[in-house]
Structure 1
């Protein structure tokens, strides 16, 4: 289906660019030379209008049937000028045609290769728009080694984006056709729409939702009054990067694969947690510490999936008694109850992660609200 789309789009753009270049460059030059040839043939070669047109054409085309001969010096110079000009301009026109054709064929071939590559990617995010916010979102995704398909209509911006095995860049307008809706299929984890135009975002949401009702769509909104419109159009989440930033836009898009796991254990299990989380290729995003009777937790940003981070932190604690005592005091204050925000590549991986963690520590609940956790901490406190 991608190949059919690519051929149609290629032919349309090729024809448009072809005529645009020819009309704006070559045709104007040919017309000027042809006009010069007719006027010169009439006044220099002493030919009538019809013969002037005929002589100008055969001389410019370097045919020269020999039925009209230049005899004087000025006539010969005129014929030479007209012939050389005609050959030169015709060569230029053919060069423009061939160069344009080669460029279009190269882009078309590159586009087909990208589509074939996409067909073999198991899981990926779609990022529409690579502006200020889109760059931040892409950075967050890239840090977590996620596959990303970037759709950006600005060709210059696309050229500046570094492509690799996990990042594919498509220089297309997401509002033009149904390509983005087709890409937002089962293998797509989430569609992140980060353009700065709410109307464009709305159109993209409608396009995707019409064909793919199950896609998880997160969109940016520049104006708060457009939140409701975007939700009604089918967006699962509407966020304002100006308020929460690009990182939170990523976290919202990862909701189907983001887990809040409330656990109870001492500081002795910290390193084992890191081992299990890194083993499953997941990222420990944040940790919330729940104080009894206080609904709002104390949050720490971690954003780590590297086992080396865990080893370094564990080494730091063992070499710094004050730091370890402070952390132990914090754990004692919350009765060792805290929540891990963990993002993973898919739901199945998170389920396997939970099974492994259950062998090492007490799991109180999954995706509990602050209010629910607050009630649990009150009960835990009352038992003491």
Structure 2
């Protein structure tokens, strides 16, 4: 549809240019005006402003003027209608797009809200997309939204605005990632989000170490400092490069790479008797290896023993290649 409007606009511009050129040449050679007077006569004729002629017109010039007026009226009317149609249709398309996005967001639950689509926000969105986790991005830069709106769900506005958070479905959201560049802005988002959803798991970005404690007090469950993580990562590559490179590959999606997954014990409970890790026997069934256990109280156990007793509401950390993870998910119907 946009291509059709574009072709019509090009046609209208061509016809208007043709009429102006035709008028100038006609007055120059039929009425014997100089170029300035010919251009002046053409403009006052096609715009029908009613100014007087430069000098009285002869019969041929009058006939030419009548023809120029009639043709210009139709052509300029066509051009105005094309521009008006394009503007109205563009507004209608934008309204339809926003309504469609709003309907999609209203159907989401247990989704993620990403506040800010800068470097950290984009990186978060890429990882969420890779793991097929539904999410909504809040961004106030209209140009950024127009660039990515065909691939992602956006809510245009300031994340500090409660109405914008509500539009992003914060009441039904499970996680919120606030990745705004300003710590104060992130602090306000955390405060607002915590008031609107007490059960929300909030992850906030921080630039300054002094902001970390404030964000936690405001209600953030986790505070991430990208600069600190980046510095630690670079230093670790110097001290133990192979180990860090291997750890990086654990989180990379690919055909021949490894992957990590966390699975709730409840996902196994209805299908197998799982009193201990040995009962799960995931290594033989799927090829995946259990490398960690998270107790209900949040205690982490690395490389747990096979006889470890499993508790309700606990989780296991599973290591495997993507195809092994897929086999695990399919076998136990894990979403």
User: TM-score, normalised on structure 1?
Assistant: 0.44
**Larger relative contact order (CA 8 Å, sep ≥ 6):** 1
Structure number having the greater helix percentage: 1
